[in-house]
Amino acid sequence: MKTAKKLCICAAAALTGFALFAQNNSTDLTPLAGIWENSNRIISVNEDNSLQFVLKTFYGFYFDKAAVLSAALDSGENGETILRVKYPSERKPQAHPIGVINNKLFLDFYCKSYTENDEETDYGYYADEPAEASNEIHSSPLYGYWRSCGNVSNIGIDMPLTKPELTCYYFTDSEVYFLRYWQADVPYERELVEVNDEDFSFKVDKLLKVGDIVYTCVVGRGTFVRNFEKTTYTINESSVTFGTNPEKEYPLYISQDGSLVSFAEPYIVRSEISDLEASIAEHNSHTHNPLKNPMEVFNRKTAWEEKLEKMKIN
């Protein structure tokens, strides 16, 4: 049993070699300060609490300084960080829930949630005490209830679209339950509902508040989740596979303290750019070789003309 515990700790350590973004209650953008980028944009988080957007247009050939927007940080209902961006056309800043793991920023991520099912100290793989001293050790670092905390697909110069549906997960040591939530026009409050699967049951949130949107998993005053799906899962170093279909393999990122997880690639990562203005100028100074004379296209023979020339007429 101790060997199994040690294997669990090692697997968790291999998967969770990431740093969780430190939460604070300040609106200051300092924790995010710096330059972030992906394949189609650069976002510079500045000390004056503004975001500088640089779009990599024309397949990245040209860096276009698109907009500067003011922003602030806030905390969500589950402790997640919310980046609130002020758009000129909107009266109030718009919420972008974000999760940061090891200098990678995610928009599709999940927060560890504790309900009546368990307590944080039950999970030896990230408790402060040694694994052998914990009363209950699970073989999976994903064991438990994971609450969906992201509901936008991008951070851009336009208003974000919020997802109409979300999925939460409950993991056992060998199976995973998929719990569907949809947008609901109801006031948010903390309330639990039960999931019953024959002789196994657990509780999850009836309502989620992600950013400024409320989602539900039951209709009306229901207290039981009627529809859910489940399958087996396998953790493969830095990925997870749901079921036995290899197409259901997803990347796996877990924060060092086990409070955040993502099954998607990061939206943006910390950039190696140190001087944004100099980098833009240097990148845009590159030119392609001159194009050939476009009029030459009219001197070309079509395929059927070439074929006629090759034909021999007796």
Residue 299 lies in a domain: no
Is pLDDT above 50 for 125? no
Is pLDDT above 90 for 19? no
Question: What's the token pair of residue 90?
Answer: 């909107």
Residues 171 and 195 sit within 8 Å (Cβ to Cβ): no
Is pLDDT above 80 for 206? yes
pLDDT per residue as tens digits for the range 273-288:
999 999 999 999 987 6
Q: Is 305 helix (H, G, I), strand (E, B) or coil?
A: helix
144 torsion bin: left (phi>0), alpha (psi -120 to 50), beta (else)? left
Residue 59 lies in a domain: yes
What is the pLDDT at residue 237?
85
pLDDT per residue as tens digits for the range 228-246:
999 999 999 899 999 988 7
41-50, 153-162, 298-307, range with the lowest pLDDT = 298-307
Q: Read off the pLDDT of each residue in 116-145 and give the average, rounded to a whole number.
A: 56
**If you compute the radius of gyration of the chain from its CA atoms, what whole number of angstroms results?**
25
What is the pLDDT at residue 119?
46
Q: Which residue has the higher pLDDT, 254 or 61?
A: 254
Residue 297 lies in a domain: no
* Confidence band for 118, pLDDT divided at 50, 70 and 90: low
Residues 217 and 188 sit within 8 Å (Cβ to Cβ): no
* Confidence band for 147, pLDDT divided at 50, 70 and 90: very high
Residue 181 lies in a domain: yes
3-class SS string, 16-42: CCCCECCCCCCCCCHHHCEEEECCCEE
Sign of CA dihedral 119, 125, 126, 131: positive
Is pLDDT above 60 for 271? yes
Give the chain's domain count.
1
Residue 304 lies in a domain: no
What is the pLDDT at residue 246?
79
Residue 149 lies in a domain: yes
How far apart CA 70 and CA 301 sit, in angstroms, is 57
Residue 291 lies in a domain: no
Residues spanned by the domain of 166: 2-284
Provide the percentage of residues in the chain whose pLDDT is more than 90.
64
Phi, psi of 130, rounded to the nearest 5 degrees: -60, 155
For the beta carbon of residue 160, count every other beta carbon within 10 angstroms: 18
Q: Is 307 exposed, middle or buried (0-12, 13-18, 19+ CB in 10 A)?
A: exposed
Residue 301 lies in a domain: no
Average pLDDT taken over every residue of the chain? 83
What is the pLDDT at residue 228?
94
Question: What's the token pair of residue 249?
Answer: 């393999």
Q: Read off the pLDDT of each residue in 21-36 and give the average, rounded to a whole number.
A: 73
